[in-house]
């Protein structure tokens, strides 16, 4: 899935779109996507000026965006202006390695279960062969009132 298809699926836009490409998608099972980390990312101006490191919460957000793509595909749906996809929980998050400009994050997300608009995922981001972050994510798809 290229960036044009991702833009049709996710409501996020610069500077908050954190998935550049989907390289593998097994319907209702797993997704593998990429986030190219460049020095041009706006968060590097303040995190940290002398040793730029991608904030951990943004690595988790990138994983959640990949998870959303997996969920939308599993449900054969496209998000619309009447629904939103929220974080509902982050369990067991562990940060193993800093992510710096020039790194490429490989986002790997596996769907563990889904029921009534609640999704549970096992997620991991790698730089090369090294795990940068791993967590279990819970997300909820809700109608906007």
For the chain, how long is the longest CA-to-CA vector?
46
Tokens of 144: 């906007």
Number of other residues whose CB lies within 10 A of the CB of residue 131: 14
Q: What is the dihedral of CA 104, 45, 64, 35, to 10 degrees?
A: -20
- Catalytic residue (one of 12, 47, 122, 124): 47
pLDDT recorded at residue 83? 82
**Residue 135 has what pLDDT?**
98
Active-site residue flag, 47:
yes
Q: pLDDT truncated to tens, each residue of the chain (145 aa)?
A: 999 999 999 989 999 999 999 999 999 999 999 999 999 999 999 999 899 999 999 999 999 999 999 999 998 888 777 888 899 999 999 999 999 999 999 999 999 999 998 999 999 999 999 999 999 999 998 888 7
Which tokens in the block code for residue 119?
Answer: 């999704």
- pTM, two decimal places: 0.96
Domains and their CATH numbers in the chain? 3-143 (3.10.129.10)
* Tokens standing for residue 51: 């040793």
CB within 8 Å of 6: residues ≥ 6 apart: 17, 19, 20, 21, 22, 69
Task: Check if the beta carbon of residue 107 is closer than 8 Å to that of residue 35.
Answer: yes
The answer to whether 20 and 3 have CB atoms below 8 angstroms apart is yes
pLDDT (0 to 100) of residue 143? 82
Spatial CA neighbour of 25 closest among 11, 8, 6: 6
d(CA 2, CA 65) in angstroms, rounded, equals 14
């Amino acid at each position: 899935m290229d960036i044009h298809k991702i833009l049709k699926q996710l409501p996020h836009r610069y500077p908050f779109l954190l998935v550049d490409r989907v390289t593998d998608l097994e319907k209702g099972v797993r997704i593998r996507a990429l986030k190219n980390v460049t020095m041009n990312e706006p968060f590097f101006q303040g995190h940290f000026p002398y040793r730029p490191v991608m904030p951990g919460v943004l690595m988790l957000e990138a994983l959640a965006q990949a998870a959303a793509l997996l969920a939308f595909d599993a449900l054969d749906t496209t998000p619309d202006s009447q629904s939103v996809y929220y974080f509902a929980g982050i369990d067991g998050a562990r940060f193993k390695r800093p992510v710096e400009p020039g790194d490429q994050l490989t986002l790997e997300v596996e769907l563990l279960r889904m029921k009534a608009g609640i999704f549970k995922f096992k997620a991991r981001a790698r730089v090369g062969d090294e795990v940068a972050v791993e967590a279990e994510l819970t997300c909820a798809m809700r109608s906007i009132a």
